[in-house]
Amino acid sequence: MSIMKSQIITFLIAFLLLGCKNEKKTIFYPSKGTFKNKQTIQMNDMSSEEIIRRYERFDYSNENDTLYSFSLESKINRKEVAMFPRSLGLIKSKNILRISKDSISAGYTKSFGFEKLDEILEKFYLNNGKDGNFSDSPEKAILMIEPSVYKEKEGLENRLQRIVDSFDNLNSKVEVKLELYIVLAVPIPKPPPPTL
């Protein structure tokens, strides 16, 4: 009787585990509310030229209706990362962590290799104005991805995955939940030649 009972229990557990395939959980950056009532434009298949073209023509008067987003997929979840246009008003340089192809720059003079992302991200978010080269507070912290990152195929996705993983790791260590704001820098177009 006990053998049969254990077989039934094993069968039920296996049935529940295999039969209840959960849909992937979606995590939103900076938050789920950011995506509410917005037309979301996916960037995953855009070329760097298309990204630049769209951001150059971004309608700031309509920004409350439109949101660019990049999806990152894993076996257990899906991550939707909002990618804001470059112009978010006046932002102090120390509140922007610039991420290029090979390096990370904070403030005016501090530059680090990308391999130091975990360490620099923590210092950047948790600085609270102590070091003049890092953010005034976590609420003011913004990451800016430079064009050198997304000019290569897979560059943006690879960098974003690494940034989000590092951010999630940092967020798991702190009591107050942080929000990840990412700005995509677009090259400033050259002005037209002067007319004679």
pLDDT tens column, 7-20: 666 665 655 555 55
Cα–Cα distance, 171 to 125 (Å, whole number): 10
Cα–Cα distance, 120 to 97 (Å, whole number): 9
The model's pTM is 0.79
Residues 6+ apart with CB under 8 A from 123: 131, 134
CB 68 within 8 A of CB 41: yes
Task: State the alpha helices, DSSP H only, in the chain.
Answer: 2-19, 32-35, 48-56, 117-126, 147-150, 155-173
CB 184 within 8 A of CB 155: no
For the chain, percent of residues with pLDDT exceeding 90: 40
Cα–Cα distance, 84 to 140 (Å, whole number): 14
- Taking residue 101's Cβ as centre, other Cβ atoms within 10 Å add up to 14
CB 98 within 8 A of CB 146: yes
Using a 10 angstrom Cβ sphere, with 0-12 exposed, 13-18 middle and 19 or more buried, the burial of residue 43 is buried
CA distances for 27 relative to 71, 79, 149, 155, 175, angstroms: 10, 5, 23, 22, 19
pLDDT digits (tens, 9 = 90+) for 116-164: 999 999 999 999 889 888 999 999 999 999 888 877 767 788 889 999 9
Residue-level pLDDT at 180:
96
